[in-house]
Amino acid sequence: MNPHQRRQLEATLDAMGKVERNRLFKEAAERRIEAQKLRRKSEREVDVPAARRRPDPLREWALRILAERQRESPACDGTGEACEGSIGVVVRVGRRRCTIEQAGRLFECLLSPDQAGAQHEDLAVGDHVLFVAGQDGEPSRLLRVLPRQSELSRPDPRRPGRRRVIVANVDVVVIVVSVVAPPLHPRLIDRYLVAVQRGGARPVVCVNKIDRLAAGRQAAPEVLEPYRRVGIRVIETSAQTGEGIEHLRSVLRGSVCALVGHSGVGKSSLANALDPSLGAKVGSVSDASHRGKHTTVASSLHLLAGDIRLIDTPGVRSFSLDDMTIAEVREAFPEFVGLADSCRYRDCTHTHEPGCRVREAAARDEIPAPRYETYRRILLDLGVTDTGDEESENTPLPRDS
Ligand SMILES: Nc1nc2c(ncn2[C@@H]2O[C@H](COP(=O)(O)OP(=O)(O)OP(=O)(O)O)[C@@H](O)[C@H]2O)c(=O)[nH]1
Ligand SMILES: [Mg+2]
Ligand SMILES: [Zn+2]
């Protein structure tokens, strides 16, 4: 169960009627007792150290049952109520409306004021939805957004404390950068990587416009090598000459993917290169600032040749991680995971604490130094200083507490 599924299941559970809820919790209690019988006592003690706060086990079982029911019958919300409507995929979201695709047909859907009010967070291109198709020219009706498998989101710049979901249910997020015009910004790649990791999709870095490199020059190897070292796929392309496009196509084949990045790096050009029949609008890059001109204004999902479902997104100016917790940032660096288990403090931030294995490994270059620096910069942005004088929730706990 990923964090997004969990949030949606929690909401379903909270909205359930009393009778249905009691029935669910009875089943949860039975399943829990069964599971306890199966588990040996010693294992139980290892699993749940007394000092650790843990969620209500009965509620956990109830959520698990709801998730199972939704997997078996995605059109229903697991509450046992009758289901109507059919399932489609959101291919475009506009002001107070969205377009849903089902079996190759498009349906225009008007959003209710409630749905429109919550739309940046609750509805995104790629969402699977339950809807009722409109008859005789009537608009279709959106009933419910189904639990997401993944999402890419960032803090909403206009509404503090709220998130803006950029795309939902993608297998792969392609972080597009260009070697020049606009110049390659590793910090943007890093921020996206953290957000992609949190949202449950697989990241790929695409370095475009390699035709602009001088003959014999490689695309910033010192910047890109650390990503390759930790197993992130980096693909070099030119949407203009077609170089690397076949490689990109082979990586994306059979998947739902999204192209994200700064304006002007060539996202729409890459989409056109992957499928020339697409005809996505391509803009220019300012000679003075080397910035794109925000040509693509809304995300849209396309079915491309070669069994690729691709979401082209509008370019961003920046990508903030302000809504992240330290734990989420830590988890986004897979190269830290094995080492972090041996840090002296269980919730080590890997910045200033004595006995930090991650910091030691970075000093020995066993972790690529640029990746560790990136991690430190992201934590600094979140208010964690190198001296441990942080505004965060982290208070070091010795491992044996
Ligand atoms: N030389 C070169 N130019 C490219 C390449 N890919 C895209 N461009 C140019 O870069 C400019 C911007 O391309 P777009 O595809 O509109 O960029 P985008 O990322 O979709 O931009 P937004 O929609 O604004 O986010 C256009 O002038 C393209 O012709 C490439 O591989 N090589
Ligand atoms: Mg574009
Ligand atoms: Zn540490």
Give the domain CATH number at 283: 3.40.50.300
Ligand 1 atom at shortest distance from the alpha carbon of 283: 16
288 and 190, same structural domain? Answer: yes
What pLDDT shows up at residue 224?
92
Is 67 found in the same domain as 106? Answer: no
Highest mean pLDDT among 107-116, 124-133, 319-328: 124-133
User: Which one, of 364, 362, 353, lies nearest residue 335 by Cα?
Assistant: 362
How far, in Å, CA of 361 to CA of 396, rounded? 20
Which residue shows structure tokens 């997104």?
A: 313
Backbone angles phi, psi at 114, to 5 degrees: -65, -45
Give the number of whichever ligand sits closest to the CA of residue 208. Answer: 1
Please report the pLDDT score of residue 265 as a whole number: 95
Do 220 and 293 fall into the same domain?
A: yes
- DSSP secondary-structure letter at 81? -
* CA–CA distance, 144 with 111 (Å, rounded to integer): 11
Q: How many CB atoms lie within 10 A of CB 7?
A: 12
Q: Which two tokens stand for residue 236?
A: 């070099």
Q: What is the pLDDT of residue 3?
A: 66
| Residue 201 near ligand 1, beta carbon < 6 Å | no
374 lines ligand 1 (CB under 6 A): no
**Residue 336 and residue 360: Cα distance in Å, rounded?**
11
What is the residue whose two structure tokens read 């005789």?
A: 136
What is the whole-number distance in angstroms between the Cα of residue 194 and the centre of ligand 2?
23
Q: How far is CA 290 from CA 219, 286, 287, in A?
A: 18, 5, 5
How far is residue 185's CA from residue 189's CA, in Å, rounded to a whole number?
7
* CB-proximal residues (5 Å) to ion ligand 3: 343, 348, 350, 356, 358
Q: How confident is the model at residue 203 (pLDDT cuts 50, 70, 90)?
A: very high
Same domain, 56 and 127: no
Domain count of the fold of the chain: 4
Contact yes or no for 64/1 (Cβ under 8 A): yes
Q: Is the CB of 292 under 6 A from ligand 1?
A: yes
Nearest ligand by distance to the CA of 341: 3
Final residue before a domain boundary, out of 312, 340, 373 = 312
The answer, yes or no, to whether any atom of ligand 1 lies below 6 A from the CB of 300, is no
262 lines ligand 1 (CB under 6 A): no
pLDDT at 42 > cutoff 50: no
Asked if 294 contacts 286 with a C-beta cutoff of 8 angstroms, the reply is no
Closest approach atom of ligand 1 to CA 273: 6
How high is the pLDDT of residue 401? 44
Ligand 3 midpoint to CA 192 (Å): 23
User: Could you give the CA distance from residue 114 to residue 111 in angstroms, rounded to a whole number?
Assistant: 8
225: its two tokens: 């090598």
Closest atom of ligand 1 relative to the 314 alpha carbon = 25
Whether 388 is covered by a domain: the verdict is no
Q: Where residue 78 falls among pLDDT bands split at 50, 70, 90? A: low
Total residue count of the chain as it appears in this document: 401
For residue 168, the SS3 value is strand
Domain check: are 118 and 250 in the same one? no
Ligand 1 contacts CB of residue 199 (under 6 A) = no
Name which of 61, 63, 57 is nearest 3 in CA terms: 63
* H-assigned helices in 39-185: 41-47, 57-72, 113-117, 119-122
Mention every residue, 6+ apart, whose C-beta is less than 8 A from residue 360. none
In a shared domain, residues 133 and 167: no
Q: How many CB atoms lie within 10 A of CB 60?
A: 15
Q: Which of 96, 111, 145 is the last residue of a domain?
A: 145
Weakest mean pLDDT among 54-63, 134-143, 232-241: 54-63
Range of the domain at 346: 326-381
**pLDDT value at position 14?**
81
| Residue in the block written with tokens 């060539």 | 266
Ligand 1 atom 13: the closest Cα is on which residue?
A: 266
Say if residue 97's pLDDT is above 70: yes
Question: Do both 272 and 209 map to the same domain?
Answer: yes
Tell whether ligand 1 has an atom less than 6 A from the beta carbon of residue 67: no
Q: Is residue 391 part of a domain?
A: no
Q: Are residues 339 and 222 in the same domain?
A: no
Q: Which of 72, 93, 169 is nearest to 128 (CA)?
A: 169
> Measuring CA to CA, how many Å separate 79 from each of 9, 13, 74, 121, 203?
10, 8, 12, 23, 34
In this structure, of 154-158, 182-186, 236-240, the range with the lowest mean pLDDT score is 154-158
**Average pLDDT rounded to a whole number, residues 19-36:** 84
Angstrom distance (rounded) from CA 199 to CA 2? 8
Q: Is residue 79 part of a domain?
A: no
* Among protein residues, the one whose CA lies closest to atom 12 of ligand 1: 264
Tell me if 239 CB under 6 Å of ligand 1: yes
CB contact set of 341 (below 8 Å; sequence gap of 6+): none
Residue 308 has pLDDT above 90, yes or no: yes
Identify whether 392 is part of a domain.
no
| Residue of 282, 284, 296, 317 to mutate, ligand 1, most atoms within 8 A of C-beta | 282
Measured between alpha carbons, how far apart are the two ends of the chain, in Å?
Answer: 28
pTM reported for the whole predicted model? 0.79
